[in-house]
Amino acid sequence: SGLTPLQKHMKQNLGGARFRLINERLYKSDSAEAVEMMKKDPKVFQEYHDGFRHQVQSWPSNPVSHYIDELSKYPPKTVIVDLGCGEAALAKALHPKNFNVLSFDLLSDKTFVVEADICSRLPLPGSEPSSVERTEGEGQIVDIVVCALSLMSTNWLGCIREAWRILRPGGELKIAEVASRFTAVEDFAALVRDVGFKLKKKDDRNTHFTLFQFKKVARATIPEQEWSALLSRGGVLKPCEYKRR
Ligand SMILES: C[S@@+](CC[C@H](N)C(=O)[O-])C[C@H]1O[C@@H](n2cnc3c(N)ncnc32)[C@H](O)[C@@H]1O
């Protein structure tokens, strides 16, 4: 690229600093602020992902490769929703294998990614219960929701609630999060459970991230006040701080 080794090194350091700054802002903002941040300067998204890709390369393995292997074994035509898909690696790998993958993130690449705030209203069908009677809602078409390291906004529980709304009865929610983010894994699982999920599997064998598999179960409507109380427990996931490398 015409740069001397020293210039290359300096460019990399600057990129790393930008990445850590954007990363910190994403973890400390609610999703409306994150949307605003990307709208103001779409370059931010690219800068973040250049840094994130670099970061992931130093890990022994990453959640997306794990999910590509795991989901490849599902029946073709399974409808998978990838919330906070980043560069849509999951869709790019599974689309050729005849899976239906719908990918959402803050910014669209105009090919694989649909632009949406995953913690707010997703443009997909599905209803919530409207009374104290326990149901699973109606109208859903989604079999599996994947959240791979994407519960970044302070109101991330909104993403779990949207996952519940769009999943078919009994549908699966797969979550991967950075291991160091948990105050207590049980508190995290309990909070997700309170939105209408049952924990089926937890895998913390990986040194860098923890994997969860939840199943959607029936629940009653969530009154406004109860929702505020649930949201206020969001601190069970701490911001993820990447070290300077
Ligand atoms: C750490 S990256 C992981 C990307 C991808 N899932 C992977 O594992 O390679 C997290 C992604 O979640 C997205 N994200 C975080 N909060 C979001 C929100 N409120 N709405 C949409 N996307 C969000 C970020 O833009 C980012 O692309």
Residue 182 in contact with ligand 1 by CB distance below 6 A: no
pLDDT digits (tens, 9 = 90+) for 145-186: 999 999 999 999 999 999 999 999 999 999 999 999 999 999
**Distance separating alpha carbons of residues 242 and 93, to the nearest angstrom:** 27
pLDDT tens profile 5-55: 888 888 888 888 999 999 999 999 999 999 999 999 989 999 999 999 999
Roughly what angle, to the nearest 10 degrees, separates helices 224-231 and 157-166? 130
- Any ligand 1 atom below 6 A from CB of 63: yes
- For ligand 1, the distance from its centroid to the CA atom of residue 136, given in whole angstroms, is 27
Indicate which atom in ligand 1 lies nearest the CA of residue 56: 9
CA-angle at 20, arms to 16 and 25, nearest 5°? 150
Q: With a 6 A CB cut-off, is 149 part of the ligand 1 pocket?
A: yes
8/20 Cα distance (integer angstroms): 19
Q: Which of 46, 54, 106, 147 to mutate to test the pocket of ligand 1 (most atoms within 8 A of CB)?
A: 106
Q: Give the Cβ contact number of residue 230 at 10 Å.
A: 17
Q: How far, in Å, from the CA of 188 to the mean position of ligand 1?
A: 19
Cα separation, 48 vs 3, in Å, equals 22
List Cβ neighbours of 112 (8 Å cut-off, separation of 6 or more).
Answer: 85, 88, 91, 92, 95, 103
**Residue 193 CA, ligand 1 centroid: distance in Å:** 22
Which pLDDT score is estimated for 245? 62
CA 22 to chain centre: 17
CA distance 154 to 132: 28
Structure tokens at 58: 């130093």
* 42 or 218, greater pLDDT: 218
The question of ipTM being above 0.90 is answered as: yes
Domain architecture of the chain: domains with CATH? 5-57 (1.10.10.2150), 63-236 (3.40.50.150)
